[in-house]
Chains A and B, each alone.
Chain A
């Protein structure tokens, strides 16, 4: 079975400072990992994905994440936060079991102050 743990329910940063959203995973298989962003009352947008290629994954809007197998982590980072980054972020794992279901973390709300 797969699971993800998002270690922070809320993260607050100032505009222009770095962002770190933490995610740890558990998987019996070689996992695929994703970060999705959700703005209020909107669907989910894929930021980036890891699918057993390069361990440092670059996504959209300046976000990147590093897959660390030894630490079972897939933390999301951005060098400089923008006001428009304020949203809910979900770390997601998918394994090759049956219909490849996605398992969502509980989400981290990113707050960006001026």
Chain B
């Protein structure tokens, strides 16, 4: 079955530093990947749509200069949290669909717990 690998699973960083999170589709190609953010005991909020070979599409209210997304290949998308602050601490999850169509379901990564101290 379709597998999405996300790395790292946990990261602690100092305020002001940058953190990169990787999302890989292991056994399929994904022209589109999605990045979500989840606050404790809340639902997932779509941050941005990552498009291979082009710029990401950000949801309203998401700072594109703070959350840099790069989708350089058909199997890898990265999210970089720049100049991280404690309020950026959250659970970040990526997803992708083998078919490229959401109607057939997405596979999610296992998530990254970011703590900014």
Smallest distance from the beta carbon of B37 to chain A beta carbons, Å?
A: 12
Do A43 and B108 form a contact, CB below 8 Å, given A51-B103, A94-B103, A101-B102? Answer: yes
Number of interface residues of A (CB under 8 A): 22
The total of Cβ contacts below 8 Å across the A-B interface reads 63
Report yes or no: B111 in contact with A102, Cβ–Cβ below 8 A: no
Smallest distance from the beta carbon of A17 to chain B beta carbons, Å?
A: 25
What is the CA–CA distance of A5 and B46 in the complex, to the nearest angstrom? 17
**Interface mask (A78-108 → B, CB under 8 Å = 1, otherwise 0):** 0000000000001000101001111011110
Smallest distance from the beta carbon of A43 to chain B beta carbons, Å?
A: 4
A77 at the A/B interface (Cβ < 8 Å)?
no
Report yes or no: B57 in contact with A99, Cβ–Cβ below 8 A: yes
Do A43 and B6 form a contact, CB below 8 Å, given A90-B43, A99-B32, A101-B49? Answer: yes
Report yes or no: B102 in contact with A102, Cβ–Cβ below 8 A: yes
Q: With a CB–CB cut-off of 8 A, which chain B residues contact A45?
A: 108
Do A101 and B46 form a contact, CB below 8 Å, given A43-B93, A49-B105, A94-B102? Answer: yes
Smallest distance from the beta carbon of A50 to chain B beta carbons, Å?
A: 10
Which residues of B (75-117) have their CB < 8 Å from a CB of A?
Answer: 91, 93, 95, 97, 101-111, 113
Do A43 and B49 form a contact, CB below 8 Å, given A49-B105, A104-B43? Answer: no
Q: With a CB–CB cut-off of 8 A, which chain B residues contact A102?
A: 34, 46, 95, 102, 106
Q: With a CB–CB cut-off of 8 A, which chain B residues contact A32?
A: 102-105
Q: With a CB–CB cut-off of 8 A, which chain A residues contact B95?
A: 44, 102
Q: Can you identify 14 A-B contacts, CB atoms within 8 angstroms?
A: A32-B103, A42-B110, A43-B4, A43-B109, A44-B108, A45-B108, A46-B105, A46-B107, A100-B103, A102-B102, A102-B106, A104-B44, A106-B42, A107-B43
Chain A contact residues, CB within 8 Å of chain B: 32, 34, 36, 41-46, 49, 51, 90, 94, 96, 99-102, 104-107
